[in-house]
Amino acid sequence: MLTIGYDGRQPNRKKSARMKSYVSQLENGWFDAASWPSIVCPVCHRGVLVVPKKTDDKGRLRDDVRYDHPEDFDYPHVNHADIVGTFSAVLSCNVSACRGVVYAVGDMEVEVRPPELYDQGNNYVDILAVRNFFPPVEVFDHHEEFPASVDRELRRVDALLWSDRAAAMTALRKGVEELMNEQKIPTRGDTGKKGRLSLDARLTKFGKTHPELSELLLATKWMGNVATHEDDVTFQEIIDAIEHVELTLTDLYRPSKSAALERARSINAARGRPSV
């Protein structure tokens, strides 16, 4: 049986950073069907998912990719730019021993390219917007040192960000609340003050010992507050928020990595040996 989730292997940070950069540039999720991102296999964490190639021009059933749309490409009067539909694709890991498979589903449309971009007479390009990957692909850098209660929410963010970015933001906020529990920040006020503490108040308490991390998390909380529906959250914002939480978790639970990063930064800034 294939097990999904953390399996003891460390994620590849370089690939994960590339994925984040790709996701942050998505505008409402649409991308050229010929330019899929390089996605790390969520099963083995080593391979990259291979996207099946388009094998004909009719947009009908293919071996692994299927487009369904109400228009028929065969009718000459059809304006291709009006074609809207859905797609499904089966992505497979390029490591043969892994045999990992990920299903992707979403929306498809046909876009007319501007004349200067005409490619050998073909000025129509299929564009896709993924609405779900299953099993979810990882955008977060998950590490076994991170508390399980927090990681559970972060995995929900991975799964939700394609279909409902506002819900992903809410899951991220829940992850921050779980993190405050792990850090033993009280949920209720001091003796004499009754009532549950808001996340703001808990973050302020946390800030007494971790001022910088508290700032990062507070910014994430504000971003989550603004999000009431999907359109309120851009991919860039969600990636920024994810990075805030990742930085915090790394600092708290993988401090050696964080110190190494700090050292690397000062070396880079000094272009050699740092002055201190």
Retrieve residue 165's tokens: 């970015």
Q: 47 or 136, CB closer to Zn ion?
A: 47
Residue 44 Cβ vs Zn ion, minimum distance, rounded to whole Å: 3
Q: What type of residue is 227?
A: A
Query: How many residues in total does the chain contain?
Result: 276
42 binds Zn ion per the rule CB under 5 A:
no
Q: 50 or 201, CB closer to Zn ion?
A: 50
Interatomic CA distance for residues 155 and 171, integer angstroms: 9
Q: Is 86 helix (H, G, I), strand (E, B) or coil?
A: strand
Residue 62 Cβ vs Zn ion, minimum distance, rounded to whole Å: 23
Among 232, 110, 121, smallest CA distance to 168 is for 232
43 binds Zn ion per the rule CB under 5 A:
yes
Residue of 26, 44, 90, 201 interacting with Zn ion (CB under 5 A): 44
98 binds Zn ion per the rule CB under 5 A:
yes
Residue of 41, 108, 137, 167 interacting with Zn ion (CB under 5 A): 41
100 binds Zn ion per the rule CB under 5 A:
yes
How many angstroms from the chain centroid is the CA of residue 220? Answer: 15
Retrieve residue 149's tokens: 């209660």
Q: 93 or 227, CB closer to Zn ion?
A: 93
Residue 155 Cβ vs Zn ion, minimum distance, rounded to whole Å: 17
Residue 93 Cβ vs Zn ion, minimum distance, rounded to whole Å: 3
Judged by CB under 5 A, the chain residues 74 through 93 that form the site for Zn ion are: 93
Q: 41 or 171, CB closer to Zn ion?
A: 41
Residue 49 Cβ vs Zn ion, minimum distance, rounded to whole Å: 8
- The residue ranges of DSSP E strands in the chain, in sequence order, are 30-32, 49-50, 65-68, 84-93, 101-112, 124-134
- The residue ranges of DSSP E strands in 59-183, in sequence order, are 65-68, 84-93, 101-112, 124-134
Residue of 37, 47, 106, 136 interacting with Zn ion (CB under 5 A): 47
Q: 98 or 125, CB closer to Zn ion?
A: 98
Interatomic CA distance for residues 49 and 269, integer angstroms: 36
Q: 44 or 50, CB closer to Zn ion?
A: 44
Question: Residues near 26 by Cβ (< 8 Å), separated by ≥ 6?
Answer: 235
Binding region for Zn ion (CB under 5 A): 41, 43-44, 47, 93, 95, 98, 100
